[in-house]
Structure 1
Amino acid sequence: MKKRVLFLCVGNSARSQLAEALLRHQAQGQFDVFSAGTQPEPIDERTLTLLQKNDLDTSELRSKSVSEFSGQSFDFVISLCEKSTQECQSFPLADKIIAWDYPDPRIESGTRGFEQTFRELNERIKMFVLVQSKDIND
């Protein structure tokens, strides 16, 4: 059975969308991957542009509220900002809550913050997939 992963941030417009697309791509069907926000906003165009530039599928991405997942269970809930970590500490059906705190790339004009967040998430997610694959195969 696939492990379920939910990425959380406040707006679900940048960091969590990047993470969702990256994990989907890297895990190649090993996980069911979702993202949500505590106060969802439309996906930032720079998020979609960066993902498309890196040949990642954006067709299933949409901004969602964490309430959409109420009552669902997850193996991992990964918070990507301090505010969502605080707001979701009591996510009721999470086996593990992990906090990866990234600054909001939307506060900068241009794409540099998005590119940096993308690179850092890409490396961290590679490690996450490697560790989880090892756990599954052991």
Structure 2
Amino acid sequence: MSTERIDLGMRVAKHAALADAARLRIVDLLTLGDLSPTELQAELGMASNLLSHHLRTLEDAQLVTRHRSEADRRRSYIRLAAGALDGLAPGAEYGTRRIVFVCTRNSARSQLAAALWQQVSEIPSASAGTHPADRIARGAIDVASRHGLNLPDAAPRRLDQVLGEGDFIVTVCDNAHEELTGLGGVHWSVPDPVRLGTSEAFERAYEDISRRIDDFVPRLTAA
């Protein structure tokens, strides 16, 4: 069995163990500190036999461990296992030398995405368009400025001028994604702020892309 499948199996076991509200509450409490079964009983208002069942389930899933008190060996403490919550979110999935963000005009969404990526990852980024505009949209420049983000002082570029071997593509535009079917990569369906042209539309696009990048950075490793 591969390491990837073993890791997936452990993630499944952890998620299954945490699917119960009482067990999730126990883990929440243990993130703050160690507790004895008696203390957990008092906190949860739970019968000792039911608590024992939940603790065994959490131990089997390698989420918690127990150890004897140094003061009173008849007493034990439950603690969160080392790395207990590791792997609950998806791990690294892709390796690449560079990430390329693509939209139709390369005037807003892809430019913002490439600039945001450079702030949080050592993997190089670039942006391109399937049908580039003459210049970066004013609204994109303004929203970037409001957030202290520097957009490149360069004209939008066509995808075939940018894309190289080993690049990982992220389309941030439905039109570009549907035009590039079969090219691989992933797609983020970010509404076009240029269409509305309001500062609110650009702000929503910025926040959407920023959140997606924060979630995606751990999934990508340098090849």
Query: What range is the shorter-chain TM-score in?
Result: 0.7 to 0.9
Unmatched 5+ stretches in structure 2: 1-94
The Cα shift of 1:2 comes to: 6.7
Q: Secondary structure at the match of 2:181?
A: coil
Q: 8 Å contact 2:127–2:162 — kept in the other structure?
A: no
Number of residue equivalences: 127
Specify the alignment match of 2:187 in structure 1: 99
Q: Once the two structures are superposed, what CA deviation does each residue of 1:62-118 show, in whole Å capped at 9, x if it has no partner?
A: 411112025x12342001112111222244xxxx51011111101113211110010
Is 2:127 the counterpart of 1:35?
yes
In 2, Cα distance between the equivalents of 1:48 and 1:103?
A: 17
CA RMSD of aligned residues (A): 2.0
Q: 8 Å contact 1:89–1:97 — kept in the other structure?
A: no
Q: Secondary structure at the match of 2:124?
A: strand
Residue type of the alignment partner of 1:103: P
* Higher RCO (C-alpha 8 Å, min separation 6): 1
In 2, Cα distance between the equivalents of 1:105 and 1:78?
A: 18
Q: 8 Å contact 1:2–1:32 — kept in the other structure?
A: no
In 2, Cα distance between the equivalents of 1:61 and 1:123?
A: 25
Q: 8 Å contact 2:112–2:151 — kept in the other structure?
A: no
- The two structures have a TM-score, normalised by structure 1, of 0.82
Unmatched 5+ stretches in structure 1: none
Residue type of the alignment partner of 2:208: E
Residue type of the alignment partner of 2:156: S
In 2, Cα distance between the equivalents of 1:125 and 1:7?
A: 11
Larger radius of gyration: 2
Specify the alignment match of 2:47 in structure 1: none
